[in-house]
């Protein structure tokens, strides 16, 4: 499993809409494994394919894992040691139901390193998607899982979490990201 390079703001790719996946084959499954490895490496809980430069409707998520700096025979993802893993793979995900109850969450994003903002989203969602083995699934997500999957599906639609905040805060974060990129 490989660690993929992250696309960071203000890269215009992050504002592009991802394309549907037609076939889930070994190559795509290996790519999804690389996405999970990258997510663990970056210490995130979700990652959309566009965030690693691929405009396909794919996301991965694991809100349960813990980093384990002292390896004790746990899952090993390219020398990244994690325990309590529950990786989830979503191909062509679509939200088919939103709860009326909304809750705030202080979100961050791997494509916006160091930036956080309080975003209000539905507390639960029902998502239809294809899993790792191309089987159709319909599943309800609540709490942090619901927040995470909405955040990642937004990425697939060319929307980032800063698109949900005031233009003043958004401009501040974008300026900060430009400064970080210019230092590299």
Choose the catalytic residue: 97, 107, 118, 152: 152
* Active-site annotation holds for 118: no
Nearest to residue 104, comparing CAs of 150, 172, 153?
A: 150
The C-alpha atoms of residue 45 and residue 8 are separated, in whole angstroms, by: 16
Q: Coil, strand or helix: which one is 48?
A: strand
Distances (CA, A) of 102 to 95, 98, 124: 15, 9, 8
∠ CA 4-179-56, nearest 5°, is 30
Active centre residues (catalytic): 152
């Amino acid at each position: 499993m490989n660690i993929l390079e992250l696309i960071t703001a203000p890269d215009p790719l992050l504002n592009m809409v991802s394309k549907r996946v037609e076939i889930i084959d070994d190559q795509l499954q290996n790519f999804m494994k690389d996405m999970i490895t990258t997510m663990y490496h970056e210490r995130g809980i979700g990652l959309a394919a566009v965030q690693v430069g691929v405009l396909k409707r794919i996301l991965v998520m694991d809100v349960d894992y813990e980093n384990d700096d002292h390896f004790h025979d746990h899952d090993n993802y390219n020398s990244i040691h994690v325990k309590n893993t529950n990786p989830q793979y979503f191909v062509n995900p679509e939200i088919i139901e939103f709860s009326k109850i909304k809750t705030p969450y202080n979100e961050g994003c791997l494509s916006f390193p160091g930036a956080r903002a309080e975003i209000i989203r539905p507390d639960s969602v029902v998502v239809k998607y294809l899993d790792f083995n191309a089987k159709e699934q319909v599943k309800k997500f609540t709490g942090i899982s619901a927040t995470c999957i909405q955040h990642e599906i937004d990425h697939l639609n060319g929307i980032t979490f800063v698109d949900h905040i005031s233009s003043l805060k958004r401009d501040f974060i974008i300026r900060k990201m430009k400064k970080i990129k210019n230092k590299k």
